Amino acid sequence: MMFRNYRGYVPLVMSACCALSTLFVTVEGRAEEVVVQNDSVIDGSLATICPCFVEGESAAVWLTAPCDGNIVAVQIFWRSWFGGAPQSLEDRITIFEGGTYPTPGAQLLELIGPVLTDGVTNEWRYTDEPQTIPINVPVTNGQVFVVSLKFYNDSPGLGPSIVFDADGIQPNKNAVFSIDDGWVTSESLGVSGDWFIRAVIDCQEANGACCDLNAVCVDDVDEGDCQDPGDTFYVGQTCTVVEPCPTPTGACCNGLGGCVNGVTQYYCENTLPGDWYYAGNGTQCVDNVCKLGACCMPDGSCQNVIEIVCNQLSGAFEGPLTECVTTECTQPLGACCIGELCQPDQFEIDCIGVGTWVGPFTDCGPPDPCQGCPAPPDGNINGDANIDGIDIQAFVTAIFGTPTQDEICAGDFDDDGGLDDGDIPGFVAAILAG
């Protein structure tokens, strides 16, 4: 007997075609695995059962690896006309080299005695029942290989058997081993679709050099780790070969809301006329990086500037296209003098009307900003009524320590409310005057 002509069999709706039945083990999805297939069968699509085979014949597909990796599983959809048929023990599944279509090449792996269940996609990940020998066939990107199913039983008239899809057959992708004719194209036997025989490949991430958006190159990087904006991956290359990395570019802002795309930092800051600001490597005008916005200053005031300028002013940028007129900036705290009484941590608005606000970020000391000095500074730091060398040590100690209010009044020659280096010239003059 030979391969039977399939004509006359009506395509069925594959209502549960993609339910996965894994031989011996339930396998969860693996993010790095890729299912390689010729067929287009999905749940709800049409496919034709082909009860066309006799014992010893095979169906095969030619597949192409999309990556470097390893074939780790084979999938075959098995279906009868009415469903619910007993499991079928068939001869073998074989993975071959591509060979010369329609004849496969050398054998790469063999799985003896596959058991197929009706109505599901059967998957195999091991070549032996104890699950000690996993399917693991190395392949390279673009490599053509063949997966075949050899029948041990004649296909019953209503199945179960393998199926082919309903959207046409791809050339040089499907073949049959016929008892009478050997390996022949599926088309020559009247098959009009692609066999539902698939392989699962565990793709290995390629290593190479990665240039980031700052033109910094890193060697031996997985491609998946070179995916940030502005990254450029060079598969199989080293930094010695690819450097220098591409000069990074970004958006350039004129400070008034204008923007130029795709220029280098040097060109932005040194070539364009006027004051221009580089927004950063990988930035783009479409992201509004050069748009004006409200900038809340440390003293509570607000300016409409671009974010770059706001950061230079140590402000808090409220966002592009915001405006000071509708923005309430957080106001700073400061000391409030009510007569000679100092109240710390007051808002200016709360101090006005009851006292005098000393200013933002001021405190009640020491020195106490609300305590005035009775006379101009005279250099008598130690308070012994004499202005002499003994005051020098007291002055130095006060500058590097926490001076009292009396010491500040005696030595604050620059009238800034404290003792510091600015008081030294006046203090020296007072000592010399005696």
DSSP character string of 260-309? EEEE-HHHHHHTSSS--EEEEET--GGGTTTS-EEEE-TTS-EEEE-HHH
* 175-213 tens-digit pLDDT: 999 999 999 999 999 999 999 999 999 988 778 899 988
Domain-by-domain residue ranges, the chain?
A: 12-203, 207-242, 291-330, 335-433
pLDDT tens over the chain, length 434 residues? 355 544 334 445 444 454 444 333 333 333 378 999 999 998 888 889 999 999 999 999 999 999 889 999 999 999 998 889 999 999 999 999 999 999 999 999 999 999 999 999 999 999 998 899 999 999 999 999 999 999 999 988 888 999 999 999 999 999 999 999 999 999 999 999 999 999 999 988 778 899 988 889 999 898 888 888 778 888 888 999 988 988 888 999 999 999 999 998 889 999 888 899 999 988 999 999 999 999 999 889 999 999 999 999 999 999 999 999 999 998 989 899 988 899 999 998 888 888 888 888 888 887 788 877 778 888 888 888 888 888 888 888 888 888 887 888 888 888 877 788 888 888 888 888 87
CB atoms closer than 10 angstroms to residue 372: 10
Q: Which fold has domain 12-203?
A: Jelly Rolls (2.60.120)
Amino acid at 295: C
List the one residue out of 101, 100, 111, 50 whose CA is nearest residue 77. 50
Backbone φ, ψ for residue 224 (5° rounding): -65, -20
Amino acid at 194: D
Q: What share of the chain is helix, strand, coil (3-state, %, to 5)?
A: 15, 35, 50
Q: Strands 277-281 and 120-124: what pairing?
A: unpaired
Q: Strands 174-178 and 182-185: what pairing?
A: antiparallel
**What span, in angstroms and rounded, lies between the C-alpha atoms of 260 and 253?**
7
**What span, in angstroms and rounded, lies between the C-alpha atoms of 136 and 277?**
56
Asked if residues 317 and 279 have their Cβ atoms less than 8 Å apart, the reply is: no
The pLDDT of residue 3 is 55
Asked if residues 370 and 339 have their Cβ atoms less than 8 Å apart, the reply is: yes
Burial of 106 (0-12, 13-18, 19+ CB in 10 A): exposed
